Structure 1
């Protein structure tokens, strides 16, 4: 399960279990989602200047939806997808500055999680940011479409969503998907340093600014998933 550490005034939320193997994919199991929300609650309950870094260990940042759980519980698919969306809304409006340290592959829902943070730093030498839904025969929900089309430029959204292109760090920077890169051994320190510079912005007006800034994305994320607006059957 995810866990939390602290480096000075910067909280570091790890998406995978402490001591996880290099191949842990950090997929969005319902219990995993609940634990991430609980850790975010813990961060928000803190006081004073602070910021948040979201990262993981090993090969994956997050490989997205827990498809084994989803297809084994498909009668709950709309409920499950709305739980996924709740993390995006939570991060878009989070009361602290947020930086994603994308340590490895960020695919599908995992790519969208990184995109929900204020800023992103990506590992320079390996790993991709990718939306593979077109290759998997899966649609984007109304909520996911709203997030991506409001956080990416139109042509980047077209390319990413309709071709499933895999963006390495340099390509992701050029497309405006991420803000910077760092070697693997410096990635977390780079993200923490960036977050630390922003910790003083933790003020009551920060989430107000974020809600106004992301109002269109948040409106789409608030649309409940239904069988009618989810044109997908396994």
Structure 2
């Protein structure tokens, strides 16, 4: 299995499992990842997902075999995996242990939050192969950082270490490698008792509102979903307990 998962209570930890190849993304790994994500999405007790790599590398990018034989079909198969992670209905955290390169950086970017181990490196690398970026690479980077960071990392191929990634907004925090997975799962457990339907609604809103043009539009979207959350037993029980 190129992707394995385990449960940490309400947290599903999904791990790329090809350390001898530095967790390079192969078509087999993509197939395993899609299967695992579909399984986790159907588990009612799961509240959050943590994605990480086995060994000392988060993901070294696309497997060389994929790159040698790259065509539209194989590239789309890999890109579909990034979209599935980004569109996963529950909150996601990338625990970036070591380099996240090219397609591996895409996988980290597809998560809602990135926590970097001290050895993490965020490396676009496409320009040095050389190949045009793909998989929504520039789109996700623009939403995580700003135009200058995108230019420096994508056009000039400048890698960022963990602390630099935090400084430019690409990662939420930097922690010691030994504390990385524990920090990520601890953060994920904060939503252990939040209703699943509320988490999916909030995540959908965080993705929808940046595309809106005005405060009024955002207010209307939030109001409709807030009213729906009020009309639940979980809300009524929470208010009663607070009193």
Show the 5 A alignment for 1:17-166: 17=18, 20=19, 23-48=20-45, 50-71=47-68, 73-74=69-70, 77-124=71-118, 126-141=119-134, 143-166=136-159
Provide the rounded CA distance (Å) in 2 between the counterparts of 1:5 and 1:159: 37
Aligned-residue offset at 1:150: 2.9
- Larger Rg: 1 or 2? 2
Q: Which moved more, 1:135-144 or 1:44-53?
A: 135-144
Per the alignment, do residues 206 and 81 of structure 1 end up closer, same or farther by CA in structure 2, a change over 3 Å counting?
Answer: farther
Q: Which runs of 4+ in 1 moved over 6 A?
A: none
Q: Which moved more, 1:31-40 or 1:80-89?
A: 80-89
Aligned-residue offset at 1:181: 1.3
Query: Which runs of no fewer than 5 residues in structure 1 stay unpaired?
Result: 217-234
Aligned length: 208
Q: How does the TM-score come out when normalised to structure 1?
A: 0.82
Provide the rounded CA distance (Å) in 2 between the counterparts of 1:27 and 1:87: 14
Provide the rounded CA distance (Å) in 2 between the counterparts of 1:177 and 1:208: 21
Q: How does the TM-score come out when normalised to structure 2?
A: 0.79
| Structural RMSD (CA) | 2.0
Q: 2:227 — aligned with what?
A: none
Q: 2:186 — aligned with what?
A: 193
Show the 5 A alignment for 1:203-218: 203=197, 204-206=200-202, 208-213=204-209
Q: Secondary structure, in 3 states, of the residue corresponding to 1:47?
A: coil
Provide the rounded CA distance (Å) in 2 between the counterparts of 1:37 and 1:214: 27
Query: Which runs of no fewer than 5 residues in structure 2 stay unpaired?
Result: 213-243
Greater relative contact order (CA < 8 Å, ≥ 6 in sequence): 1
